[in-house]
A and B are shown apart, each in its own frame.
Chain A
Amino acid sequence: MTRHLRPWLWLIAAVTMLTGCYFPDDPKHTLATIERQGVIQVGILAEPLPEADAKVIARFAKSLGVRTDYVRGPAHALLAGLEEGNIHLLAGDIPEDTPMASHAALSNPYPPRVRLPGRTESRSEKRVLLLRKGENRLLLRLNRSLREAGQ
């Protein structure tokens, strides 16, 4: 049985390695665009950008070897920019159950410590980053970076 399986395992391993770099791919090539332009455009939804968000974005930009451009503006304009591909990420205290979920893809949640107004102790509250829908390669790279940051 194992003997029969072995060629298949090799095939699967080979396909995985071959496709590892480009599978899954982005239908709109967002990751490739970021890498080509050497800059990631991040729209900020909360001013000032919480430190926890800034940290994961800096880490992600570093892992891609690109610099970060922060874009400020009205929330709707930023979301429209994300949907059109001019903005690559949205950040800033975005909760897991954001109503923007129907217009954007959500990263895996990460737990920054947020200090609630009027309180001294901080508590864990999961936050997400938003990206363009269907850009699965960018999403996978982002989630990997988030995971490494969490360790």
Chain B
Amino acid sequence: MSDRPTLPPHIRQSLERARRLEWWTLGWLVSIVAVMALVMGSSQAMQAAWIEDMLSLLPPILFLLAAHFEGKPASPAYPFGLDRLGSLCFLLAAGALTLMGGYLIYDALHVLIAQEHPTIGSVSLFGHEIWLGWLMMAALAYSVVPPVILGRKKRALAPELMDKVLFTDAEMNAADWKTGLAGIVGVIGIGFGIWWADALAAGVIGADILRDGLRALRISVAELLDGAPRELNSPEVSGAVAKIRAAVPVDRPVRVRETGRFLHVEIADDQDTTPSEAFQTKALGEDGWRIVNVTGPAPPDIRKGARHNEE
């Protein structure tokens, strides 16, 4: 059942590359989180950027988890294999992105409505009292560079692998560097005495991120609900479905669903798949109603109104 065709060599190579990229991402992100924590102080403005960097650790971890378990054979506990793990990781990654966008907007609105003037203090450094804003800008500038580079690489790799977790992670990286730049603009604004600059910049970027997150969430929900395969970056039904339909010569309903990067094609059985009441009762007694669908070759009395004798 789990005898899956092996992946073509170039896909395997790309997958390996994606995995390496994600390990690099984790390493860089951890260093960014550490640097940001150092200069954060009690600044509300920085706290948002920091929380958002913590959140962006999630998609790489999810990708690595999914990639690790992807090829695992079916077992008695998981008779269909672990294909769905990719779908689950995608949902969680999309959730992280949505949460991040939502948090940024919430934080920005909170500051703007309460008219909270962000206070940025100073630290003693090399015998001088240095405004923390400078250090924050330096840390934010540092936090912008790795996501730009890694995100671009991942985004280029995602369509080939049809990897939605990787794609979502690339979007998360885009969100990272955008919030980093917004943070720099915000701190400069605060430096010029414009207290709302930071919140406004974060809010605008937050709206952008929230939109990406909600779109990814829609796609991932469709995937988990056995919906038809969707495009990588939109909830539209993928063009692959029509191509598969055209390649099936018989005139029977064809159903395609996806788990992670893989497609599962079902050409409708010529039999009714509704179980017979006799089988339901025999198998589960009172709980027989829970069996609603029986596929695959089966003895005639298991299904209702078996049609295979008609031939």
A interface residue numbers (CB < 8 A to B): 19, 23-29, 105-108, 132-137, 139-140, 143-144, 147
Contact = CB atoms under 8 A, between A and B. Distances in A.
B116 A133 contact: yes
- Top 9 A-B pairs ranked by shortest CB distance? A134-B117, A25-B193, A105-B119, A24-B191, A144-B129, A27-B193, A27-B195, A143-B122, A133-B117
A26 B190 CA distance: 9
A140 B122 contact: yes
B126 interface: no
Given A24-B120, A134-B119, A140 B191 contact: no
Contacts of B42: 106
A101 B122 CA distance: 16
A81 to B, nearest CB: 16
B192 A23 contact: yes
A139 B121 contact: yes
A19 B133 CA distance: 13
Interface residues of B, number: 18
29 contacts: A23-B191, A23-B192, A24-B120, A24-B192, A25-B191, A25-B192, A26-B193, A27-B117, A27-B193, A27-B194, A27-B195, A105-B121, A107-B121, A108-B122, A133-B116, A133-B117, A134-B190, A135-B119, A136-B131, A136-B190, A136-B191, A136-B193, A139-B119, A140-B121, A140-B122, A140-B129, A140-B131, A143-B121, A143-B129
Nearest to B129: A144
A113 to B, nearest CB: 21
A29 B122 CA distance: 18
B120 A136 contact: yes
A95 to B, nearest CB: 15
Interface of B: 42, 116-122, 124, 129, 131, 133, 190-195
Interface hub of B121, B124, B190 (most chain A Cβ within 10 A): B121
Given A26-B193, A29-B193, 20 more contacts: A24-B131, A24-B190, A24-B193, A27-B194, A28-B117, A108-B121, A108-B122, A134-B116, A134-B118, A134-B190, A134-B195, A135-B117, A136-B119, A136-B120, A136-B190, A136-B191, A139-B119, A140-B129, A143-B121, A144-B129
Contacts of B119: 105, 133-136, 139
A24 B190 CA distance: 7
Nearest to A26: B193
A101 to B, nearest CB: 8
Output the residue of A25, A27, A108, A135 with the most chain B CB within 10 A: A27
A147 B129 contact: yes
A135 B193 CA distance: 8
Contacts of B120: 24, 136, 139
B192 A139 contact: no
Contacts of A29: 193
Contacts of A28: 117
Contacts of B124: 147
A36 B190 CA distance: 23
B26 to A, nearest CB: 29
A106 B121 CA distance: 8
